[in-house]
Structure 1
Amino acid sequence: MKEEKVFKDPVHKYIYVQDAVIWELINTREFQRLRRIRQLGTSFFTFHGAEHSRFSHSLGVYEITRKIISQFERNHYPDWPKEERLLALCAALLHDVGHGPFSHSVEEVFGTSHEIWTCAIILGDTEVGEVLRRLSPDFPEKVAQVIEKKYSPQIVVSLVSSQLDADRMDYLLRDAYFTGVNYGTFDLERILRVTRPHQGHIVIKESGMHAVEDYLMSRYQMYWQVYFHPVTRSSEIILRKILLRAKRLYEQEYKFQFLIHPLARLFVNDLTVEDYVQLDESFMQLVFTQWSMEEDVILSDLCRRFLNRKLFKYVTLEQIDEERIEQLRCEMRAAGADPDYYLELDFASDLPYDVYRPGDADEKKLPILLLNEKDELVEISLRSEIVRSISGIHLGRHHLYYPGDVMGELKL
């Protein structure tokens, strides 16, 4: 570009756009839509500052990727394929362009995936697709292959999707900043300085191991303190119940007082790309406001709970007592509430670091490799006691969610 464009950013200070195609992609309607999709879904109910968008996160992932590639090129590392620079930057920028409203809740109810929609937007008759095709007719397909983790060389995929990637590094720092917690902070600049391309992999100099340990511990803490916060899980449960109830009502031919396009297509999983890009959180908030006045008691009540933050209470379960839970379901029916919509057993779990095993197909499981002074690659858990202690163990807790105004205080 004739003149470098700059975004002021609270996490990275500045985000630099030097390529015309990146600037054009940012200004497409599909990418601008991400301003209306919150990065953390319903976490704003728990952390009132968590109003940041997928738009700002996507710019951040692009910026971290740009910094990594710039460092590779400045140091003339032979193992970095220079011809892949623009592809990596486009994939980093567009990796979340297919996200729907309220993060993953819509995906769970309707059995879809933001990655599928991301590729559909990239490959479709869209402004994003038009910009990419101007580079070359097959360029959208290459970007989609990176998103799908099928592109070769695999080093390009690793920049955007791995256990130490630009996506995770940005969302940890950004989510920590906007939620006001310190758990997600780590030394990004140190990690960038010790990142290397080597034998087709993204690796870390062994001297930078402690910075990676800090990053992995930050991820561990953020999942338990922010992403899996039980209040946030409560709001996500109510959101899913709203969508599930509306879907079932539609299947039963219920006469909605308010049903605008493309909701009917959403209920039958028949959305086009054009339909999908109309779905954002402003749209869904309007729908929920209208549904709060529907004649169906369950749908209207759930919508009012969501809009007014009247969330379900919860109790933590050390072990599952199926008989007691069934008894609670009967008690809830007797109290006039349908347990299918008002009682939920939830289990949140995370694997902070997954030790790669031969045969694993998921690039996100590919190991974090350390490069020692002898130019040998060593998987990080073989060197780090900290990483070894958090590897391979699914940590989780069971919570039982219920409406306190219906059931009072539960003691199990």
Structure 2
Amino acid sequence: MEYSKQKLDEEKVFKDPVHRYVHVRDRVIWDLIGTKEFQRLRRIRQLGTTYLTFHGAEHSRFNHSLGVYEIIRRIVDDVFDGRPEWSKEERLLSLCAALLHDLGHGPFSHSFEKVFQLDHEHFTQAIILGDTEVNAILSKVSKDFPKYVAEVIAKTYENKLVVSLISSQIDADRMDYLQRDAYFTGVSYGHFDMERILRVMRPREDQVVIKYSGMHAVEDYIMSRYQMYWQIYFHPVTRSAEVILTKILHRAKELYENSYSFKLPPIHFYSMFEGKVSLKDYLKLDEAVILYYFQIWEEEEDPILSDLCRRFMNRNLYKYVEFDPAKEYKKHSELETLFKKAGIDPEYYLVLDSSSDLPYDFYRPGEEEERLPIHLMMPSGDLRELSRESDIVDSISGKRRTDHKLYFPADFLYDESSKKNIKRQIRTILDLT
């Protein structure tokens, strides 16, 4: 029997707090889960530094990837099966792309990417197409199968319906992470009626559409996403931890470039520091490795690296104030000057951080981050863009919300053993009581 059609003798199941069970019957999927590249995702948290804000947020990219696979499995096996717009030939491709879509995430994901100018989607494709266990399994399906999986994840695959299942404004990725992140952080914002949404999904030639009768379930989903971003993903305490994490990596890179002698040579970071990251080096990195170095660096002679690592490891995070860079740029410049006079390096200890989100957008061809809209299938069979039918969605469509905060170590400003008057000036400007 062809490898792509092989089934396990007995269905395997993973107990899951969101979907109750994740079902695996396909030999290809089971083999992919067992690869070292996929198992590495167990050692990378789904929510980065959020565990320092919500102590339950310890779940991994491994959990999430299985969840996305399970949602896609239900769609293609239960919802789309037998519908003329859906080809069974795309089933295994959709399942593999769902399972592997986050394969290239690094430790602490987005913070890590920003410092070293990396792109997890690039590494996802490199793992799928490179000399890896994942590639060896996918290649057993067909010579071109790894390329097709990579194309789905890159959103370049010719069948846009398949792409929309994994990446759109109402895709399996979002449906899983909203519910999973809500569960593990202990909040109620991310819950919505996924069962209803799955029941009203319909395949069309180039995207998934929603039956008009399911509009209210989609409204609930979009509002859940909006609340999760501002209450969880952009939480100011989490952002404080990300600021410190980012500054640790910046400092270590700067010291390396200046030939600083580390007590423990940071061999895992060499290729990152030099901007020559190989796939082999990248796959050796996980959060356990990063935290090991942070613990070692607590004892470094460089006072900034040592202090930043102690802060991160012991959760002694920066405080913050609301800050509008457009209106308060002079204040920021003044604070930088005062920080320097106080002997506090503003590069590492005075950080402006911004978060921005666009909860839903209609189609704007040619624009950056172009997003396909959610379409409702009307009783007549015609399609209508969601915000034209929903007053709730219309009220937030195309409206980007941005939040700015200024982060700093408050304990440094209350230590008046030196530069007493300058520190008081800083506290006054920051309106600290």
| TM-score (norm: length of structure 2) | 0.93
2:340 maps to 1:329: no
Residue identity matched to 1:8: K
Partner of 2:298: 292
Secondary structure in structure 1 of the residue aligned to 2:322 = strand
Structure 2 Cα separation of the partners of residues 282 and 26 of structure 1: 21
Post-superposition offset of 1:362: 5.0
Structure 2 counterpart of 1:219, from 198, 203, 225: 225
Secondary structure in structure 1 of the residue aligned to 2:187 = coil
Structure 2 Cα separation of the partners of residues 356 and 95 of structure 1: 24
CA contact (8 A) 1:105 1:236 kept: yes
Post-superposition offset of 1:317: 2.3
Post-superposition offset of 1:337: 1.3
Structure 2 Cα separation of the partners of residues 359 and 328 of structure 1: 40
Moved more, 216-225 or 347-356: 347-356
Post-superposition offset of 1:360: 5.0
Distance 1:194 1:113, change over 3 A: same
Cα deviation, 1:91-137, whole Å, max 9, x if unaligned, reads 00000010000121110001111000100111110111111111111
| TM-score (norm: length of structure 1) | 0.97
Structure 2 Cα separation of the partners of residues 70 and 48 of structure 1: 36
CA contact (8 A) 1:88 1:156 kept: yes
Post-superposition offset of 1:361: 7.6
Q: Give 1:9-408 correspondences, 5 Å limit.
A: 9-74=16-81, 76-318=82-324, 320-359=327-366, 365-408=371-414
CA contact (8 A) 1:312 1:401 kept: yes
Structure 1 Cα separation of the partners of residues 320 and 80 of structure 2: 52
CA contact (8 A) 1:332 1:407 kept: no
Structure 1 Cα separation of the partners of residues 80 and 409 of structure 2: 57
Give the length in aligned residue pairs: 410
Post-superposition offset of 1:256: 1.3
Post-superposition offset of 1:260: 3.7
Post-superposition offset of 1:261: 2.7
Secondary structure in structure 2 of the residue aligned to 1:356 = coil
Moved more, 217-226 or 346-355: 346-355
Structure 2 Cα separation of the partners of residues 37 and 329 of structure 1: 35
Cα deviation, 1:195-246, whole Å, max 9, x if unaligned, reads 0002322000010000000000000000000000000000000000000111
2:431 maps to 1:411: yes
Structure 2 Cα separation of the partners of residues 41 and 324 of structure 1: 31
Cα deviation, 1:286-342, whole Å, max 9, x if unaligned, reads 010011111111111101100000100000125631121111112211222110011
Larger radius of gyration: 2
CA RMSD of aligned residues (A): 1.3
Structure 1 Cα separation of the partners of residues 172 and 216 of structure 2: 18
Post-superposition offset of 1:395: 0.7
Post-superposition offset of 1:375: 0.7
CA contact (8 A) 1:352 1:391 kept: yes
Secondary structure in structure 2 of the residue aligned to 1:137 = coil
CA contact (8 A) 2:67 2:176 kept: yes
Structure 1 Cα separation of the partners of residues 228 and 413 of structure 2: 31
Moved more, 3-12 or 63-72: 63-72
| Structure 1 runs not aligned, ≥5 long | none
CA contact (8 A) 1:73 1:82 kept: no
Secondary structure in structure 2 of the residue aligned to 1:164 = coil
CA contact (8 A) 2:211 2:378 kept: yes
Residue identity matched to 2:36: R
Post-superposition offset of 1:353: 0.3
Residue identity matched to 1:20: R
Residue identity matched to 1:219: R
Cα deviation, 1:257-293, whole Å, max 9, x if unaligned, reads 1124321111112122111111000000001001111
CA contact (8 A) 2:72 2:172 kept: yes
Structure 2 Cα separation of the partners of residues 360 and 71 of structure 1: 36
Structure 2 Cα separation of the partners of residues 362 and 162 of structure 1: 11
Secondary structure in structure 1 of the residue aligned to 2:336 = helix
Structure 1 Cα separation of the partners of residues 290 and 102 of structure 2: 19
Structure 1 Cα separation of the partners of residues 220 and 263 of structure 2: 52
Cα deviation, 1:378-408, whole Å, max 9, x if unaligned, reads 1000000010111111112211101001124
| Structure 2 runs not aligned, ≥5 long | 1-7, 415-426
Residue identity matched to 2:347: D
Distance 1:199 1:360, change over 3 A: farther
CA contact (8 A) 2:375 2:383 kept: yes
Structure 1 Cα separation of the partners of residues 191 and 327 of structure 2: 35
CA contact (8 A) 1:72 1:80 kept: no
Partner of 2:424: none
Structure 2 Cα separation of the partners of residues 58 and 401 of structure 1: 33
Residue identity matched to 1:153: N
